[in-house]
Structures are given as C-alpha cells and as structure tokens.
Structure 1
Amino acid sequence: METKKERVFKALRNEEVVDVPVGFWHHYLEDEHVDALKTPAYHTQNVEGAKKFKEEFDPDFVKVMTDGYFYLPIELDISSVDKLPNFTLVPIEHPWFQKQIELAKEYREIYGKDIAIFHNLFAPLWHFEEAIRKAYKVDAEESHEIILGYLKENPEAVASCLDKIADNLSLLLKEVVKEGVTDGIYLSAQDMHRYIPDALYRLYVTPSEKKVLENAKAFSPYNLLHICGWRGNTNFLTIYQDYPAIAFNWAVNTECLSLREGKKFFHDKCVIGGFLNTEDSILFTGNKGEIQNYTQKLLKDVGRKGVIIGADCTLPRSIDYEKIQYIREACKGDFQKIVG
C-alpha cells in the first residue's frame, strides 16, 4: 500500500496521482515571533499543537512550525555598510540550532516515518531585516528604508552579508534534512512588499536564496519554495521562476496567478495551493458542499499531475480541521463515487 510520503513525493516529482495530497498548516503559538529560547514553554506548546494536528486531522505531509526560532541571532556592526558582513557566525552548538533539531526530531516521533516532513526556514533577507530592526531599534518600514539605502551605497557588502547568512543557516541542513529527521526544507521568501527594485533583488538578494536551496539539495531533492503573500503582499514572481526548488507555493489569489497558470509559469514543476487563507474566505465561511465544489473546480482546472492542494499561506489558528478534511475528501480519485 502506498504511504502518504510516497504519494507526496510522486506529486513533487510532477507525477500524476489518484488521490491528490493536501497540505495545510497553522502556527501553534499566539505570537509566533516570540523567543522560545527565553521561554521554553513555547517549545512545549508547539509540540503539543503538532500532536493535536496529528490526532484531529492527520495531514498528508507536515511543515515543522519553527515558532519561537524564526531568526538567526546575529548582531550586525552598523557603524558602516562595509562592516555588515563582519558578524560572528552562530555555531551549530548554539541553542538556536540545537532546539530546532530537537523540535524536528519531536515532529518525526509524532508523525512517524511514513509521512514527509519539511523544515521551515526563512530566506537570508528575512534574517538580515530582523537584525537591522534590532540594531537600529526600528519597525519594518524603517528597516526597509535602511536596507534600500545600503543597497544603493554598497550593494556588494549587502550581498556578502546575505551570502554569509545563507552559509550560517545552511549549518542546520545537515542536521535536519536527512533520513529519520526531515525530508527537505520549506524555504519562505518574499521580496518585502517590493521595496527592493526587481533588478537589485535579482543581483544582490537572489544568490543567497538560491544558495540555501542548492545546499539543501545536497541532502534531499525535496525542497519547497514558499513565495509569501501574507496579508495581501504581492511579489515580483518572475524573480523566483528559476529557483532550484522542486515545488512552488505562492498566493494564488493575491498574485492573480492560478494553479494551472502557475504550472506553466514555473516550468511545469509541482505547484501547491489554491485556497485563500483569510477568515472571510470560502475555507472559513463555506459549507461542506461549497468547499468541496471549489476543490473540484481547482482540480478540474489544474489536473492531478504535480499538484498539491493547500493555501496561499499559513492558516489562522481559528481554522476548523473539519473544513480541511472536506478538501481532502474531494481530492480523492473516487470522490464522485463517495458522494454518489
């Protein structure tokens, strides 16, 4: 009998499947940006949330929700743009790495060996922005202005800093992307509300993101790219067309690019998504029939080859697991037989 992992891997390899996999997730902490190193109870809460998700939905595959361990704890020297790359690398022995390794192993214990698990990791630019916010004690918008100023003043220094962050993040890959722990990474990228012009992003940001994916490929071919469209933010999707990921997940509704169109756009690779993730969307307001009809329309449009039905981004914590169970039922090959 085919396991969930085997079926998901077939979809990721762009093969046709009878029962199309379903992939949804949500954060398990009220504020996913907290520091779990300072408050270990958050780690426990995350694990308990994963157990509940297993018990009440039993997903087709899993993303390790790294709530509490989002950003690499680096300290940048902001005395001049030239000194940005001079930060001290975080060693693999640091608790920020070790607790994530522990978390990934706990997810594997919960879900077992026959399900695919992908480790959530944010692209280097996210870590750079967070380090800038901490160093300058500014909000996101102000940090964007600072980073854009750096790119105009000395883009090579910014690129060097991002490259070093990519190397630092990659220390984690050997520890979690291997048999018995996780099966690949779920890399989250975003061109940050388009505050960085397309050409600058391609030249000075893209290499660090591709580097993380290439490093991950040394341990597994099954690495996913999430192009974050959270809260209606749009991206320059063309930036990501040639990224070395096996599958692409983007905000289908925000970007106005359907799954079918996305398959062509991303060179016929596996695509993930289809559902809007907000609380006023059909996933939250629709009844069983409406949700399953919508699912069937998605599959009729995109087909069953190289597709996983999911959402634009992380679901709100208020999601009713029964709603996503409706979707999984509608993704089965014999769904019409089931409904009579």
Structure 2
Amino acid sequence: MNKIERVDAALRGETVDRVPLSFFYHFPEHQRAGRAMAQAHLDFYREADPDYLKVMNDNFYDPPNFQTLTKPSEWAKLQPAPLTSRCFQDQLTGLREIVRAVGKEVPIITTVFNPFENGDGMSDWKATDHLKLEPEKVSEGLSTVADSLANFVRACIDAGASGIFFAAHGGQAARHTEAEFRKYIKPHDLTVLNAAEEAGAAFNLLHVCGENLRLQEYADYPAHAINWSPQLGNLSLAQGRRVFNRTITGGIDQNGAIIHGSQKDVSEEVLKAIEEMGTRGFMLGAGCALAQPVPARRLSWVRQTVVGRRARGLKQYTSKKEAVKVYRLFYPQIAVIVASRTTHRVEAEALNSVISGSSDPPRVVCAMKREAPVAVMIRKSKSFSVNWMDSRFVKSVDFLGFQREGNPRDKIKAAGLTWLPGSKTSTPVVSEAAAALECTLDRVIPLGDNDLVVGNVVSVRTTRDFSGYWQFKTYKPLIYFGAVPGKKAGRYVLFLSRRRGLASKSQGV
C-alpha cells in the first residue's frame, strides 16, 4: 500500500498492510508562514516520512482594524476576515507549495483552530470569562469568526488539501457547563466542519484539545478520525472508540518516551497502543503536538517498531480474497463424517468444523455450506449422524471431503464404508466409526456463506477406547490440516499415541 491507500483504508476501518503513523510539532516563528513554512514542512516530511502530513497553522484570526477584545461587549463588533487577510494568505501560500511538491503521494491536512480558540487568543485568553458575563455578545462574535473560517476551509480544500485538522478547544469540564458548550461553542464548530465536509474533504481529523474533556459532546461532530490526549485525565483510546465509533488516532504520549525515553521505551509504548486498539480503524500518533521538536531518528523508532512487528510474522491481510482464508488458522482439526438420508438416498460429507455446542442438553454444531448435498438432506430428513473415523479410513474420509465425480445414491457405500440405521432415528451411522452421535435437527442458523446446523444428541455409540476420555489405545484420530495445493485432496496427520502426540507420518491423498 502507498500512503494514500493506507490512510484511506484506515479511515474506512478496513485492513491495512501496517498501522499508519504521523507526528507533528510547532515550528519556530520564522517558519510559520509562506514559503518558509512550506520548506520547513517538506524537510520534516522527507526526514520523518509520515503517512499523512499535518500542516501546522499558528496564524490566528486577524480581521481588519482589530484590537484586543478587552470587554464582552466588543465581541459583537468583530469584523469578518476576508480571504485576502494575511492570516489566511500566509497559510494558503505555504499550503499550495506543499501540495504542489508532495500532494500526489501523501494525504495533507491543514490545521484550523476552532472559533473559540481564535477568540480566546484575540481576548488575551479571557474568552471564558467574557462568555460567562455576556454569552450572547461573545457568541455573535464567534459566529463572525466561524463564517470567515468556513470560507478559509473551502479555500484550503480548493488548494488541494485532503481535509483539515480541526483543533477544538473549550470542551473542558472546568471551563464551561454542558449548556454553555452546546449553545455558545458547538454551533460555531459545526459551521466550520460542515463547510469542510461540503467542500468535499476526504480526511477531516477532529482534535479535541485539553484536560478532563467531555468527549461525548463531540460524538456527532462530522469528522473522519478523532484524536485527543488520554494522558490529560481523559478517556482511554479504547473507551473513546466506543463514544465515536470512528477511526482513532493517537497512542503516543506527546511529552513522554518519544521526547526523552529510550528506543525500548518508545517501542513498548507503540506495541501497547496497537495491542489496545488493533490494526483496523487506528492510526498511530501523539495525543497533541509533540512538546518540542523531535529528531527524525527518534520518530523512526516508531516506524521500526510497526514494521518490525509485521516482519516478526504478524501478517496483516490486505484483501478480502486473502482475509477469507483465516479459517485455516483453526487447522489442524479432527475430521469426522456427517451423514443423513431419506428413503432413496444417503448423503455424507467429511467435515472438520464440528463442535460441542451444549452439554446440558447435549447439542452439536456443524458449520457447512448451505448448498452442500448433506446440508440439504439434513433439512429434509431432520436428522443426522456425526462419525469419528480411525486413521485407517483416510481414503474414505478424503473421498467424502473431495468427491471428484458422479453423484452416487449412497455416498457412504461409494466411500468403501458401510452403515446401519440409528437406534433412535433412521439416520445412517457408519459401522466402522470409532464413535458416533445420532442427532435430531434442532435448528439451522444462516451465517455468511455457511449454515450452522444445530443437532440434539439422542444417542451415543463408542468403542471401548473411550472411557470418559479417549485412551488412544486403538483409536488413532485422523487429523486434517488443509487441502493439497493444486489438488482436490486433503492432507492428514496420523495420530499414533497419546504420549508421542502428533506423529511425523503424514499422508496426502
């Protein structure tokens, strides 16, 4: 997968070849605008090699004739900032250069601080105090800021950005009540995010900033991925996933091992995050901007851990065609014969997907193809048998697992075996079986491309080798571990003794 494919799959919650990762930090003041900003980001991208590039934005809202807001009443007098404003053009100029250089190889999202954070900066960080005194005046000003930011966001998408990194402030429980947040902060956030969505953004990342957050208040924000810092008294990533039900990015403490820890410390943090979140719908990153610029060598430790984890054998299947083969993880399994009949026909099939479904009452569950002849027969006859075969009958079992031609009326006989009617039903029980269950059909449960056939056990027959448990004196199980590649035949291991376990002798029929 390339970077765009990897991130796109992660945002859709699909399988990825490895977990995507990205980090970011604030650049020095002389690298925060225009071409200098673009060059700083491109240098960082080529050194750190992130899977998506977040373009920093430290250019706060700056409308015409602006003066610091010292009183709540002044918020209502805020003027819109046109796109020609320096605060927007400084960012757009750099963004266009970045897109021109690497936009075809990596998703690019540009930072947009929410209206409340911009307003907080314009009021010398007194926005909360002002809002509590005259909330309607403050909200009127935030609405003006939101409309201007919405225009800026549309321009960013038009310039080639994949979406925005929306830094949402004001959601801390200690700053505002739920009612204040919902009425005076959230509507203006949604103005900006809705503009990004309507502009066709493919990757909007919602970053909820701060400590002791009411994360549930952001559950309906329109964004493709969510990010926050669990280290600041917030929900864990796993808990937050249940709130948002979307792709989560994070797992790395922005002021932890990545800043001052050893390579082992970083690797352990990465593996812990992946263990908690899995590899689908998750992207590695910090919970916020890294506390300070970090050498690319330290960031590379994260990538080495992710790539090394995969190289150690934890293959991630990247296509549906590969993923459907996961049933092979359950091999080897003991092969049995499931049989059923009507007046004129006997059907039988070798299966390995048979388990005990219940001990009281005793029930078995067989997974089989819905259209398989024996499955059709069971639905008609309402009964079936499960037969454990000794390894001496490997050819017969293989025949019933990979019947090559013809459609014999009596499959058991065609396999070189014999049968007798059950003691409780007329279902065929294989005479040569080391053990057999006679079952009546309880129910059929559709599951994907299979049916789960549930049977009530009405009779049990075993040889003397079974006495509460198998003794393995005369019974040598036939253990199936997959088809012979390129052939319609099975591969089996012959179990020789309890003490020796699986023998080295194997047979491909």
- TM-score bracket for this pair, using the shorter chain length: 0.7 to 0.9
1:89-111 per-position Cα deviation (integer Å, ceiling 9, x unaligned): 11112232222211111221342
Letter in 1 for 2:91: Q
Please point out which of 212, 234, 250 is paired with 1:273. Answer: 250
Is 2:200 the counterpart of 1:212?
no
The corresponding residue for 2:452 is none
The alpha-carbon distance between structure 1 residues 8 and 192, as it changes in their structure 2 partners (threshold 3 A), is same
Question: How far apart in 2 are the matches of 1:114 and 1:264?
Answer: 32
Please point out which of 14, 20, 41 is paired with 1:50. Answer: 41
SS across alignment from 1:331: helix
Q: Is the 8 A contact 1:329 1:335 kept in 2?
A: no
The corresponding residue for 2:231 is 253
SS across alignment from 1:188: strand
The corresponding residue for 1:317 is 292
Aligned residues: 310
Question: How far apart in 2 are the matches of 1:306 and 1:288?
Answer: 26
Please point out which of 50, 54, 58 is paired with 1:59. Answer: 50
The alpha-carbon distance between structure 1 residues 82 and 304, as it changes in their structure 2 partners (threshold 3 A), is same
Q: Is the 8 A contact 1:252 1:275 kept in 2?
A: no
SS across alignment from 1:215: helix
Is 2:89 the counterpart of 1:108?
no
Is 2:217 the counterpart of 1:239?
yes
The corresponding residue for 1:136 is none
The corresponding residue for 2:451 is none
TM-score between both structures, scaled by the size of structure 2: 0.57
SS across alignment from 1:126: helix
Question: How far apart in 2 are the matches of 1:103 and 1:307?
Answer: 29
Is 2:206 the counterpart of 1:222?
no
By how many angstroms is 1:162 displaced?
1.6
Letter in 2 for 1:70: F
1:124-172 per-position Cα deviation (integer Å, ceiling 9, x unaligned): 0012222222xxxxxx3x4532232122xxx3x3323222211111111
SS across alignment from 2:42: helix
Letter in 2 for 1:305: R
Matches within 5 A, 1:1-340: 2-29=1-28, 43-67=34-58, 69-73=59-63, 75=66, 84-133=75-124, 140=125, 142-151=126-135, 155=136, 157-178=137-158, 181-191=160-170, 193=172, 194-219=174-199, 220-229=201-210, 233-266=211-244, 268-278=245-255, 281-332=256-307, 334-337=310-313
Question: How far apart in 2 are the matches of 1:168 and 1:273?
Answer: 30
By how many angstroms is 1:298 displaced?
1.2
By how many angstroms is 1:284 displaced?
2.5
Q: Which of 1 and 2 has higher RCO (CA within 8 Å, sep 6+)?
A: 1
Which of the pair is proportionally richer in helix?
A: 1
Letter in 2 for 1:146: H
**Whose radius of gyration is greater, 1 or 2?**
2
SS across alignment from 2:223: coil
CA RMSD of aligned residues (A): 2.5
The farther-off stretch of 311-320 and 246-255 is 311-320
The alpha-carbon distance between structure 1 residues 202 and 149, as it changes in their structure 2 partners (threshold 3 A), is same
Identity of aligned residues (%): 26
1:159-196 per-position Cα deviation (integer Å, ceiling 9, x unaligned): 23222211111111222113x62100001012265322
Q: Is the 8 A contact 1:173 1:216 kept in 2?
A: yes
SS across alignment from 2:312: helix
Question: How far apart in 1 are the matches of 2:310 and 2:122?
Answer: 50
Unaligned runs of 5+ residues in structure 2 are: 315-509
Question: How far apart in 2 are the matches of 1:221 and 1:205?
Answer: 25
Question: How far apart in 2 are the matches of 1:29 and 1:104?
Answer: 17
By how many angstroms is 1:331 displaced?
2.4
TM-score between both structures, scaled by the size of structure 1: 0.83
The alpha-carbon distance between structure 1 residues 293 and 335, as it changes in their structure 2 partners (threshold 3 A), is farther
Letter in 2 for 1:159: S
Letter in 1 for 2:184: Y
SS across alignment from 1:23: coil
Unaligned runs of 5+ residues in structure 1 are: 37-41, 134-139
Q: Is the 8 A contact 1:29 1:45 kept in 2?
A: no
